[in-house]
Amino acid sequence: MTKPTPHNKWLVLGILAIALFMMNLDVTIVNIALPSIMNNLDASLADAEWVVNVYILVFAISLITMGRFGDIFGRKRMFISGLVLFTIASLACGLSPNIQTLVASRAFQAFGGAAMMPATLSILNVAFKDGGRGQAMGVWGAVSGAASALGPIIGGLLVDNLSWEYIFLVNIPLGVLAVIAGIIIISESTDPTAIRQIDWPGIASATAGLFGLTFALIEGQRFGWSSPIILGAFGLCAIGLALFYYIEKRSRVPLIRLNLFKSVNFTAGNIVSALLMFGLIGILFLLVLYFQIVLGLSAVKTGLVLLPMSAVVVLIAPFAGRMAERNGVRWILASGMLIISVAIFFMADLSVDTTWQSLIVPLILAGVGMGLVMAPVNTVIMGAAKVEQSGAASGIMTTMRQIGSLLGIAVLGAVLQSRLASGLVSAVNGTDGIPQEIKKAIINAINDGAMNFGDMSGMNTGGMPEMAQTAMTHMFTTEFASSLNMAMMVAAIFCLIGAVAALFIKNPSQITK
């Protein structure tokens, strides 16, 4: 391995920053494009949830394993391989002719991202081992935050001025540039002490458990909550997670070190972290649908409306750590989660007459709460683990956040679908002027979860008087807003649970060493 020089180690950071920007951009940029994707590919709400959740699911399951692969087979090799796969999968996403191809391509994209993410930190550690590591980590964090904040804006510009496909195609030139530069500049490194055994049974059981739960929550409305396939999916979840616990307790090289959860701070910190992402990703998913489908905002205007929340997070986060040191991390975390819960509660009064301006203050308030939680909760989790367990603790923390994001969309999406279906069926049955055969077709589409909510005004309503068609469109948007309110209330409750969990955290001065 060639030793990084003071000159090229910053080039290494630049290459890693490009890859990191691509990965984090994809988390928020896709949400903005969902209504356009639903409309263009004739996709249902459940299909749209899969576009987001398949990425999170595959990423969460693969992340820890890919980190170990990097230690064994080489960090550069894993980084370049993951970057190549991510770039090719982005091309496949952009060229997808249907929703099924898009979902499959997103899964491969997530697998590539999971190979890249742990390798970026390992490569960074090696490149800056002789100094400048703190500054490099600062740049790494800033790039991550900037990509997440700019995602809605960039996504909106691409969707409005080009098309939704370009939110994926924009990765191609960046990916090609980073691959070529990475091959030339980045040095290979491995961990000769790394255990070469992989916990395949743990991976399989965790995948089965999380997939079963995700499938049941997303597809429950389509197949029926009491149908054999949904009950079977819940059963798969229970069996998979029970097996995972049994396997991890006995494995010599566990995927997750369960003994870390003996620490109250580690357990409570991860619960808070997961519920933070549950609320953040969940409400982003809901608000994007509301702004574009109900209020009719463009994609770029949707991104601009959401920008204050992201901006406040970036502004507050650097000061939250110092506030936690002065006032106690428990109260900072509890206050932050409570503020998020209150902000979401105030947003849960959406209607067709709500203006986007009236949501700016609650969005800023939510940003304040998120900024208060993000940095201190990392300190709590990592501080609860011994130094030699820091790698395992970091992997669990990242995985728990992904699971929180996954469940945020799946649970809130399930609430939205269920409430929307019952509300629409009642509204359609109570609307005069609609021929009976059209009523029946619409109700069947709703109950099957096959209704395209990306373009409600474009429903097949032929045979209805114009006045009835207008009434139908208004009915759909009204019920959609009402159903979003129910989902937002659920998000507020989960964030409140996070505030309660934070109260169990002990400040460092209270922990007996």
Tens digits of per-residue pLDDT, 223-241?
A: 777 889 989 989 999 999 8
Give the confidence band of 449 by pLDDT, cuts at 50, 70, 90: low
Q: Give the residue-averaged pLDDT of 343-352.
A: 88
Give pLDDT tens digits for 204-216: 888 888 888 888 8
Cα–Cα dist 78/188, whole Å: 10
Alpha carbons 439 and 431: distance in angstroms, whole number: 9
Residue 271 has a CB neighbour count (10 Å cut-off) of 20
- Cα separation, 454 vs 48, in Å, equals 10
Tell me the chain's radius of gyration from C-alpha atoms: 23
**Euclidean distance between CA atoms 124 and 132, whole angstroms:** 10
pLDDT band at 489 (very low <50, low <70, confident <90, very high): very high
Asked if residue 293 lies in contact with residue 456, where contact means CB atoms within 8 angstroms, the answer is yes
Closest CA to 312 of 345, 330, 338, 336: 336
Of 4-18, 177-191, 479-493, give the lowest mean pLDDT range: 4-18
Pairwise CA distance, residues 259 & 217, whole Å: 30
Contacts of 461 (CB under 8 A, 6+ apart): 434, 438, 468, 469, 472
Task: Give the pLDDT mean for 401-425.
Answer: 82
How far is the C-alpha of 218 from the C-alpha of 406, rounded, in Å?
11
Q: Name the residue type at position 471.
A: A
- pLDDT of residue 457 exceeding 60, the answer is no
Q: What is the pLDDT of residues 82-125, one digit of tens each?
A: 999 999 999 999 999 999 999 999 999 989 988 888 777 777 77
Q: Using CA atoms, how far apart are residues 215 and 209, in angstroms rounded to an integer?
A: 10
Per-residue pLDDT, 344: 93
Query: What is the pLDDT confidence band of residue 257, given thresholds at 50, 70 and 90?
Result: confident
Contact 10, 187 (CB under 8 A): no
438: left (phi over 0), alpha (psi -120 to 50) or beta: alpha
How much is the mean pLDDT over the chain?
81
Q: Topology of 1-188 in CATH?
A: Growth Hormone; Chain: A; (1.20.1250)
Phi, psi angle pair for 450, to nearest 5°: -105, 0
pLDDT (tens digit per residue) in 303-321:
888 888 888 887 887 777 6
Token pair in block for residue 487: 């989902």
Residue 513 has pLDDT above 50, yes or no: no
Please list, in sequence order, all residues whose beta carbon lies within 8 angstroms of the beta carbon of residue 123, skipping any fewer than 6 positions away.
12, 16, 75, 76, 79, 186, 189
**According to the 3-state scheme, what is the secondary structure of 157-209?**
HHHHHCCCCHHHHCHHHHHHHHHHHHHHHCCCCCCCCCCCCCCHHHHHHHHHH
* 123 neighbors 189 (Cβ within 8 angstroms): yes
Q: Has residue 43 got a pLDDT over 60? A: yes
Measured distance CA(155)–CA(193) in Å, rounded: 43
Q: Please give the pLDDT value at position 446.
A: 64
Region 441-448: what's the mean pLDDT?
A: 65
The answer, as to whether pTM is greater than 0.75, is yes
